[in-house]
Amino acid sequence: MRSSILLLPGDGIGPEVVAAAASILRAVASRFGHQFDLPEAAIGGAALRRGLPPLPDEALAAARESSAILLGAVGDPAFDKGDSSRRPETALLAVRRELQLYANFRPARVWPGLEDSGPLKQSVVAGTDMLVLRELTGGLYYGEPRGIAADGASAHNTMRYSRHEIERIARRGFEAARTRRKHVMSVDKANVLETSRLWRQVVTNLAAEYPDVTVDHMYVDSCAMKIALAPASFDVILTENLFGDILSDEAGAIVGSLGLLPSASLGDGPGLFEPVHGSAPDIAGRNIANPIGAIGSVAMLLRHALALETEARAVEDAIGSVLRRGVRTADLVDRSEQRVGTREMAAEIEAALLAPAAAPRA
């Protein structure tokens, strides 16, 4: 297969983790006989430093033409005091809006060997492997009318969902469940909110088209509690924008370091794949950032943008085998383990990917 994958390294540790992720894409191409073109464009602070806007037209045009986009992170303290149109972070919001990326996938899994790196007891967290699927372009964050009253005494937002918006994200949830353990937990607040009642109705109707997938419904407050009490009981959590924002952070927090978490944002055109973390200016340029969130995002890119499931699993297997051997970046290290930098971790994962026999599946 020949594909063009646009790299947007961005700021801070972004270029370091994207370089690591690009080395894994090249290794996948070499092992499986693909050709990946990897053009690069500057966005965020990296664009501002060249006198360009946070999302230059050429970067957006290149994004539209690519098969998928791999982004590092944006955010640069040098621009924190500027007006909002000249802040690096506006690049990210603009690219999501321009590409209509309505489905946000945030997997949270506990890698074997890292069961004790999060805040929960090992016995509670072991076996956790869930996917939080969040609706990203509707609901309370975009609903109109919104505003603060002229006298400042009140404020309002609008939560609105159409059947179309619910159905297209629910379809993504059912399709994703089919590739996993075939269970969807649809999360809402149908005891209180009309939008949630419509959500539940649409998801229930759609379930008839996916008889191989089991669907349950849960209120968001119960779900938040159950993620902390029995995280391993979830497969796909399907939910709207605000609930997904909160639940995906909770799910991410229980599996350990922020540096481990990948994500994908999908629409009907090219998808955007990025680690969950930000530009981490406090550790930038020191070869200590964990590249696994970015490399996990490569696995998601292979799976969701290019339909290369075998290749995606090979990348995940390589990450798992390296972690099982006790190789750790600084954010994960404990005394008995081998501590490596960003480039060395990427090289270990690349070696495991190219010599899979030595790296049995997690």
> Looking at beta carbons only, is 283 or 301 nearer to ligand NAD?
283
Interface with ligand NAD: number of residues (CB under 6 A): 20
Binding segment (CB under 6 A) for ligand NAD, from list 168-176, 188-196, 265-273, 289-297: 289-297
The single residue of 189, 210, 235, 331 carrying the catalytic annotation is: 189
Residue 129 bears catalytic tag = no
Residue 189 bears catalytic tag = yes
Taking the complex as a whole, how short is the minimal distance between the CB of residue 90 and ligand NAD, in angstroms? 10
Residue 182 bears catalytic tag = no
Query: CA-CA distance, 106 to 104, in Å (whole number)?
Result: 6
The single residue of 129, 141, 182, 219 carrying the catalytic annotation is: 141
Q: For ligand NAD, which residue of 9, 113, 252, 259 counts as binding (CB under 6 A)?
A: 259
Q: What tokens does 145 get?
A: 């009318």
| 297 is a contact residue toward ligand NAD (CB under 6 A) | no
> Looking at beta carbons only, is 92 or 237 nearer to ligand NAD?
92
Taking the complex as a whole, how short is the minimal distance between the CB of residue 43 and ligand NAD, in angstroms? 10
Q: Does residue 56 contact residue 41 with C-beta atoms inside 8 Å?
A: yes
| 106 is a contact residue toward ligand NAD (CB under 6 A) | no
| 290 is a contact residue toward ligand NAD (CB under 6 A) | yes
3-state secondary structure (DSSP) of residue 313: helix
Q: What tokens does 206 get?
A: 């759609």
Taking the complex as a whole, how short is the minimal distance between the CB of residue 332 and ligand NAD, in angstroms? 9
Binding segment (CB under 6 A) for ligand NAD, from list 72-80, 206-214, 217-225, 316-324: 72-80
Q: Tell me, what DSSP letter sits at residue 213? A: S
If we measure between CA atoms, which residue out of 268, 270, 263 comes closest to residue 59?
270
If we measure between CA atoms, which residue out of 114, 55, 32, 53 comes closest to residue 290?
114
Q: Tell me, what DSSP letter sits at residue 79? A: G
Which DSSP helix (H) or strand (E) runs through 155?
strand 155-156
| 89 is a contact residue toward ligand NAD (CB under 6 A) | yes
> Looking at beta carbons only, is 54 or 138 nearer to ligand NAD?
54
Residue 37 bears catalytic tag = no
| 327 is a contact residue toward ligand NAD (CB under 6 A) | no
Q: For ligand NAD, which residue of 55, 73, 101, 323 counts as binding (CB under 6 A)?
A: 73
Computed on alpha carbons and rounded to an integer, the radius of gyration of the chain in Å comes to 20
| 265 is a contact residue toward ligand NAD (CB under 6 A) | no
Interaction pattern, residues 211-250, with ligand NAD; x per rule: CB under 6 A: ----------------------------------------
Residue 221 bears catalytic tag = yes
Q: For ligand NAD, which residue of 293, 304, 317, 353 counts as binding (CB under 6 A)?
A: 293
307-316 LR contacts (CB < 8 Å, sep 24+): 308/1, 308/28, 308/32, 308/34, 309/179, 310/32, 311/28, 311/32, 311/34, 313/361, 314/28, 314/31, 314/32, 314/353, 314/356, 315/24, 315/28, 315/349, 315/353, 316/362
If we measure between CA atoms, which residue out of 329, 333, 286 comes closest to residue 13?
286
Sign for the CA dihedral angle at 44, 47, 53, 57 comes to negative
Taking the complex as a whole, how short is the minimal distance between the CB of residue 236 and ligand NAD, in angstroms? 23
CA distances from 165 to 199, 240, 242 (A): 9, 10, 14
Tell me if the bond preceding 291 is cis, omega within 30° of 0: no
Residues near ligand NAD (CB under 6 A)? 13, 73-75, 89, 92, 258-259, 274, 277-283, 289-290, 293, 331
Q: Which residues are catalytic?
A: 141, 189, 221, 245, 249
